[in-house]
Structure 1
Amino acid sequence: MSRIRLPLYGKILSWFALNLAVLALLFFFFLKAQFRLGLDWMLSGEPGDRIAAIGETITFEFSRLPESEWPARLSDYDQKHGVTFGLFNSRGEQVFGKSITPPSEVMPRLIDRRPPGEQQPRRPQRPVSKRPADAPPKPRFMMRAGDPARYWAGVHLDLVTQDGSSLSLVMVSDTISGGGLFFDLWPWLGLAGAALVVSALLWMPFVRGITGFIGTLNTAAGRIAHGKFNERIEKERSDELGELSTSVNAMAAQLGDYMREQKRITADVAHELCSPIARMQMALGVVEQRSTPDQATYLQKLDRELQHMAKLVEEVLAFSKAETIPDRETPEDINLRELLQNILAREAPENGLKLEIGDIQLHSLRNALDRGIGNIIRNAIRYAKDIEITAKAENGRVLIQIADRGPGVPEEALNRLFEPFYRPEAARGRTTGGSGLGLAITKRCIEACDGTVKAESRKGDGLAVTITLPHEMPS
């Protein structure tokens, strides 16, 4: 079962979202605990002002209406605010509105304990939405009570009935919002949204800076892993990522020096081997002229061994020189069909390979392409049959494919075919296996032309090698 890959950018933002969720839960439980202990603290803010304002409005309006119309007006308030309104007298008895049964915790709060003088009605000349700052506060309450629990709010009014009973306004809701009278959720949601947006704006540049730099490091490391030891990370940071980039640059430089030294030694050794091998071949020729018939068989075996050594040394020298191709060759205009026909005439004059290619022009390194494609065709002829060569230009690239119907290559060996001295098990025989440098030379030649080469198995059987080259003619 494969694991879901989540980019670092997503992980950091996920942890940020989780952090906000935890804070929101803590805030929720804090408010829940506060509500359970009591809600009178809310009366000191906007909820208290809204309750007082609606009490003032009802006082003003009802003082100018006959009592017979009060129930209908309370019903209108019920529908308008989504809250049940009721009027209770100073003894805690409901006298107007939809029937409400207050729980025992609410009943003591309904009794108006103001001195009799303060319970007398006032006749305001106009409705007010907010109590004047210098006016004494009217007794108010807000609580959560009952089973099932409901939210209760009330305020004593400057309003009396015809029998002289002072009234209190009671509002009941199943939710804390109370139709927006008790608790207006939207400002809190807006505040939370604004906090989220501001936090994201503050975090995203920081997160993008980290993930972007890590992406740069990853790209550079990938190129270094593919042998691009001149790759360097130019961005500078003063934190641990900056130290890591410095280490990566130092590692690339040291690897580059090591590989150059290794290649130089390999080339020097191969070059030095040429002279003794040539002298041994000359000496062997002299010995063959003076040998007896019984010795001829052994001398022929020795000659084959020397020829194999000479070819191996030649391939090592070619491999070492392939890296310096861009310094030794100049790009030129190339007719791809003509180049392939010349390669086939040299490598397979009698095989009758199938060639499907149009008139494609390239501007590249002729000798490098000749050597790289020639090695692939030589390998295909050695191991397979029914070889097809196709080429096409698309999306600014030229794709050249050499496909065969041979024994193919195991899937695990496909990615290693272009490594120096690597040969699949089936190709390790001396008579057919070669030196293991042909495809490695091909890769260096194609990369010198700013191209890529890859091998893949064909459906059924066989192997397909695809070369991709830039298709840009000089202006």
Structure 2
Amino acid sequence: MKTRFHVSLMTKVLVWLLLHLGILALAFVGFVGWQLGMGLDSLLSGAAGERLRDFGDEAREGVHGLPRDEWRGVIDSLASEKKVVARLLDDWTPSEIPRNVMEKIRTMPPPRGEGHRRPPPPHGRRPPPDHDFPDDFGPPPREDEEMMPREDPPTSFPVSRPIFLARGEKGNGYWAGVQVALRGGPQLLLVRSERLDGEGMFFEFRPWLWGGLAVLALSLAFWAPFVWGITRYIGKLTLAADRIAAGQFQITLPRRGGDELGKLGQAIEVMAGRLDHLISGQKRFLGDAAHELCAPLARLRTGLGILEMKLADVDQRHLSSIEADAQELATLVEEVLAFSRAGNRTPQQKVVSLEPLVREVAAREGGVNPLQISVSPELQVVADPTLLTRAVGNLVRNARIHAGEQARITIEAVERGEFVEVSITDDGPGVSPEELSRLFEPFYRPDVSRSRDTGGSGLGLAIVRTAIQACGGDCAASLPSAGGFRVTFRLRQPTRNA
């Protein structure tokens, strides 16, 4: 039989919550990607535009007062600090700039303000026709204006202005264009980065990351107490159901208001109370019936004894069968009384030394083969001595009856954390594995090797379980790998003072 992988309800809810948040995150990333796919220029209206503007102003201030041939070194130094590549448009070769970026440069609007036109080329000549760079960031001047002298630009230039942000085709990095007011007129500063974030200049991932983590933390903080409360209460309901299945009906569950789980808890408490009343009434009825049967049974056996003295020897053999039936009935009544008393008797819990009690039972129930006892003298348990003695005696007697007088019976006790486990094992025929779960039911007798012919009434193990549960423990039956039959019960050890 395959073992099913167990996952707690709390884990399932948290996994579904994380999956939900993951789907929302993917949807958000998809939406942002769609928006960025429509154009990265939208980022310039936010913090990216401010960072590019500041970078352009730094470049303008850095080259202020320096000759033109020193500008590139200053801008390279500033760009290296930002971990990007930045140059004025004239310092790039056309082959270095992707075609789509060049198209953006050609189609971008002219500089703002007057007097921002680029100075004319030397000797009043225009650049060669095959030059790919646009002139004045706008349409070319009219022919009648080519040779006209131009006024010097004003000494005060506006702040730098981001123009575009685009991804280079064929994965050729990310490019930004910044209009910078320099000596002689506005210049286009191209900034390139291999990544979308531009090392923090184009796009800042960390605020989004911290924001997502904050949303996740708030979601967990909001949902975790609610889910924890539900799963914790369900765990208490499960424990209560297990206790009811084990025959412990004194169940008390915390109040949870009027929701479905609270109503379920109240229903379990009511059910446990009714079962307790029913089982207790059943045991009282058995005890009362057995007690009432004791008197007529005693009179019957007394009458049989008187009649036996008056009958001739020939007729006494007919009377012996009646006496055997009366003896069997007396034994059954005694066991019913013991079962009823074990369940209805208020246990007197004490610290009991296990080894002397086991040896006393072994001496009383000893047979042809003495019991093999492996119990440490230091082991102690908290139990009712009378009920514990009855349980151990019933187990030894049960082994003698069903495994035979020649059976090898072993009693062992070991510590298991806060508990002591006591096992009584015989090497008899045992039972089938399907019957193990029912052996502790009252009046249950397996069909194989445990019938009325062997003297069993079906109450021996039921008395054992009732007595052990009254002492605050539990018990179970098993089949050893070497064969035979074993019953193990567990009782709590006394609390040791630190």
Structure 2 length-normalised TM? 0.81
Please name the residue that 1:188 is paired with. Answer: 208
Kindly indicate whether the alpha-carbon contact (under 8 Å) linking 2:351 and 2:382 is maintained by their aligned counterparts in 1: yes
> Structure 1 residues 335 and 201, CA, compared in 2 at 3 Å: closer, same or farther?
closer
Q: In the alignment, does 2:253 pair up with 1:233?
A: yes
From 353, 377, 380, the counterpart of 2:399: 380
Please name the residue that 1:31 is paired with. Answer: 32
* 1:398 Cα deviation after fit: 3.8
Question: How many angstroms apart in 2 are the aligned matches of 1:454 and 1:272?
Answer: 33
Please name the residue that 1:338 is paired with. Answer: 356
Kindly indicate whether the alpha-carbon contact (under 8 Å) linking 2:173 and 2:192 is maintained by their aligned counterparts in 1: yes
Deviates more, 1:147-156 or 1:316-325: 147-156
Question: How many angstroms apart in 2 are the aligned matches of 1:38 and 1:376?
Answer: 85
> Structure 1 residues 324 and 260, CA, compared in 2 at 3 Å: closer, same or farther?
closer
Q: 1:111-190 to 2 correspondence within 5 Å? A: 112-114=110-112, 116-119=114-117, 138=161, 140-148=163-171, 150-160=173-183, 164=184, 166-190=186-210
Deviates more, 1:260-269 or 1:39-48: 260-269
Q: In the alignment, does 2:376 pair up with 1:353?
A: no
From 98, 101, 122, the counterpart of 1:101: 98
SS of corresponding position for 2:115:
helix
Kindly indicate whether the alpha-carbon contact (under 8 Å) linking 2:351 and 2:494 is maintained by their aligned counterparts in 1: no
Q: In the alignment, does 2:445 pair up with 1:445?
A: no
From 257, 263, 267, the counterpart of 1:243: 263
Question: How many angstroms apart in 1 are the aligned matches of 2:259 and 2:103?
Answer: 61
Question: How many angstroms apart in 1 are the aligned matches of 2:155 and 2:458?
Answer: 108
Deviations 1:202-223 (A, max 9, x none): 2222222111121122212221
One-letter code aligned to 1:388: T
Q: In the alignment, does 2:433 pair up with 1:435?
A: no
SS of corresponding position for 1:338:
helix
Kindly indicate whether the alpha-carbon contact (under 8 Å) linking 2:52 and 2:178 is maintained by their aligned counterparts in 1: yes
Question: How many angstroms apart in 1 are the aligned matches of 2:282 and 2:390?
Answer: 23
Question: How many angstroms apart in 2 are the aligned matches of 1:153 and 1:473?
Answer: 75
Please name the residue that 2:220 is paired with. Answer: 200
Kindly indicate whether the alpha-carbon contact (under 8 Å) linking 1:150 and 1:173 is maintained by their aligned counterparts in 2: yes
**Equivalences, count:** 457
* 1:418 Cα deviation after fit: 2.1
One-letter code aligned to 2:235: G
Deviations 1:271-329 (A, max 9, x none): 344445445545655666677888766554444333323322221221111112325xx
Please name the residue that 2:388 is paired with. Answer: 369
SS of corresponding position for 1:455:
strand
* 1:250 Cα deviation after fit: 1.5
* 1:435 Cα deviation after fit: 0.7
Question: How many angstroms apart in 2 are the aligned matches of 1:84 and 1:297?
Answer: 120
Kindly indicate whether the alpha-carbon contact (under 8 Å) linking 1:88 and 1:110 is maintained by their aligned counterparts in 2: no
Question: How many angstroms apart in 2 are the aligned matches of 1:63 and 1:183?
Answer: 28
Q: In the alignment, does 2:427 pair up with 1:426?
A: no
Kindly indicate whether the alpha-carbon contact (under 8 Å) linking 1:144 and 1:150 is maintained by their aligned counterparts in 2: yes
Deviates more, 1:237-246 or 1:72-81: 72-81
> Structure 1 residues 65 and 414, CA, compared in 2 at 3 Å: closer, same or farther?
farther
Question: How many angstroms apart in 2 are the aligned matches of 1:357 and 1:229?
Answer: 32
* 1:461 Cα deviation after fit: 1.4
Please name the residue that 2:131 is paired with. Answer: none
Question: How many angstroms apart in 2 are the aligned matches of 1:28 and 1:334?
Answer: 69
Question: How many angstroms apart in 1 are the aligned matches of 2:76 and 2:437?
Answer: 81
Please name the residue that 1:131 is paired with. Answer: none
Question: How many angstroms apart in 1 are the aligned matches of 2:154 and 2:322?
Answer: 129
Deviates more, 1:270-279 or 1:454-463: 270-279
One-letter code aligned to 2:371: L
Kindly indicate whether the alpha-carbon contact (under 8 Å) linking 1:75 and 1:98 is maintained by their aligned counterparts in 2: no
> What's the Cα RMSD here?
3.2
Kindly indicate whether the alpha-carbon contact (under 8 Å) linking 2:409 and 2:426 is maintained by their aligned counterparts in 1: yes
Q: In the alignment, does 2:428 pair up with 1:410?
A: no
Please name the residue that 1:454 is paired with. Answer: 476
Deviations 1:381-421 (A, max 9, x none): 22331222234567554443322222233333333332222
One-letter code aligned to 2:115: G
Kindly indicate whether the alpha-carbon contact (under 8 Å) linking 2:391 and 2:463 is maintained by their aligned counterparts in 1: yes
> Structure 1 residues 100 and 332, CA, compared in 2 at 3 Å: closer, same or farther?
closer
Deviations 1:101-147 (A, max 9, x none): 3425423345635455244766679xxxxxxxxx6773622234523
> Structure 1 residues 62 and 333, CA, compared in 2 at 3 Å: closer, same or farther?
closer
One-letter code aligned to 1:167: Q
One-letter code aligned to 2:393: G
SS of corresponding position for 1:55:
helix
Question: How many angstroms apart in 2 are the aligned matches of 1:27 and 1:349?
Answer: 81
Percent identity for Structure 1 against Structure 2: 36
One-letter code aligned to 1:325: R
Deviates more, 1:303-312 or 1:45-54: 303-312
SS of corresponding position for 1:352:
coil
Question: How many angstroms apart in 1 are the aligned matches of 2:245 and 2:349?
Answer: 28
Kindly indicate whether the alpha-carbon contact (under 8 Å) linking 1:332 and 1:365 is maintained by their aligned counterparts in 2: yes
Deviations 1:44-98 (A, max 9, x none): 2110000111111111212333222333344434533343323226xxxx65799
Kindly indicate whether the alpha-carbon contact (under 8 Å) linking 2:249 and 2:276 is maintained by their aligned counterparts in 1: yes
Deviates more, 1:68-77 or 1:22-31: 68-77
> Structure 1 residues 111 and 86, CA, compared in 2 at 3 Å: closer, same or farther?
farther
One-letter code aligned to 1:383: H
Please name the residue that 1:128 is paired with. Answer: none
Please name the residue that 1:306 is paired with. Answer: 326
> Structure 1 residues 124 and 114, CA, compared in 2 at 3 Å: closer, same or farther?
closer
Please name the residue that 2:491 is paired with. Answer: 469
